[in-house]
Amino acid sequence: MMDRPCIDDLDLLALADGFLDDDPARKAAIEAAIARDPEAASRLSDYRAQTAALRTAYAGALAAPVPERLRAIVEDAERTRARPVLRRAAAGLVVVAAGLGGWLVGHGEDDTARRALLDESYRQFVLRGPEMALSGEGGGAPERAISWIDDEVAIRLSAPDLSSEGFTLVGKRGVRRSGDQLVALEYRSRDGRAFSLFIAPRWMDSPGPIVERERAGIALAYWHDGPLAASIATQLPRAEARVLAEAVRRAMRDDTTAPPAGLAPEFRPLRNPVGDVMADGLATIPGSETLDAVPGLAPTTFGSN
């Protein structure tokens, strides 16, 4: 018994538009059926003529030079469009800083961001540093991506792998304060050394040096690189903290999932933003409540640089 496929208009259209090229069996069956059906053959011929005429008619648009006014929209976007979005992250830090005592006067956006992050790092470290992080290694694998959630943007990065320095990630959590956000990562070594790494979004084209501070026996170090600002807080000696900061910065730069230096972060749509919850469940880690929910720790600022 002959297998005669039923041919409808869509089969003919698919054939005319080349959509059956990946299905040679179906294509051959339909072509064979068309060969026995003059009406179908006529329609196919017409559809093919349409497709050819359409492609010819509009082919010139592909070859034509792109008008400057269209090119400019994309090329000028960095100055006219992207920065307001990105600045919001840095501006968030400014707001936090101002809210912490209004001690910032005219040192520029980056000083402001640095001070705010260092100050917040100290506060977070005192409140719940590595000693209070989950014990063991259940805090998350280093290769596990962190999703950084804002109401509008998300930045993906991986927790830096510091196993070469003897440190294991033991905890991570999100901190939201006054609309600003930090990711706090807690590292600990087998011999009991520990530090906290804080990462915040920012926007500056050029990387910056590591800036060190010490306060009440806690060493802090700050740097920024591409779209991220980071700081560490630890009770290790300052010299060791410095070496550690350099190692962390190297590890973050080596992270192949991070955007190239000098490029803005990769933004992803947020399908289900839920309050303060980080996309990878950072907030589910016990003790991850934000500072807003922690009994007050009077903010103390660092002296000016």
- Choices 16-24, 98-106, 124-132, 241-249; region in contact with another protein by CB under 8 A: 16-24
Residue 17 in the binding site for another protein (CB under 8 A): yes
Quote the least distance from Cβ 136 to another protein, whole Å.
Answer: 34
Structure tokens at 274: 């839920």
Decide: 191 and 176 in contact? Cβ < 8 Å: no
Decide: 184 and 175 in contact? Cβ < 8 Å: yes
Structure tokens at 5: 């496929």
* Residues β-bridged to residue 214: 219
Quote the least distance from Cβ 26 to another protein, whole Å.
Answer: 14
Quote the least distance from Cβ 278 to another protein, whole Å.
Answer: 18
Quote the least distance from Cβ 143 to another protein, whole Å.
Answer: 19
Quote the least distance from Cβ 241 to another protein, whole Å.
Answer: 33
Quote the least distance from Cβ 108 to another protein, whole Å.
Answer: 23
Residue 53 in the binding site for another protein (CB under 8 A): yes
Query: Could you say which of 1, 6, 25, 62 contacts another protein (CB under 8 A)?
Result: 62
Decide: 187 and 112 in contact? Cβ < 8 Å: no
Quote the least distance from Cβ 144 to another protein, whole Å.
Answer: 18
Which residues between 260 and 289 bind another protein (CB under 8 A)? 262-269
d(CA 213, CA 273): 35
Half-sphere exposure of 210 (CA within 13 A, CB side): 19
Query: Could you say which of 2, 56, 293, 296 contacts another protein (CB under 8 A)?
Result: 56
- Choices 14-22, 104-112, 139-147, 285-293; region in contact with another protein by CB under 8 A: 14-22
Decide: 137 and 239 in contact? Cβ < 8 Å: no
Gyration radius of the chain over CA positions: 29
d(CA 265, CA 95): 21
d(CA 140, CA 153): 23
**Helix, strand, coil distribution of the chain in percent, nearest 5:** 40, 20, 40
Which residues between 117 and 176 bind another protein (CB under 8 A)? 152-153
Residue nearer to another protein on the CB measure, 16 or 146: 16
Three-class DSSP category at 197: strand
d(CA 301, CA 305): 12
Residue nearer to another protein on the CB measure, 28 or 77: 77
Residue 91 in the binding site for another protein (CB under 8 A): no
**Residue numbers of the site for another protein (CB under 8 A)?**
9-10, 13-14, 16-19, 43, 46-47, 49-51, 53-64, 66-67, 69-71, 73-75, 77-78, 81-82, 85, 152-153, 262-269
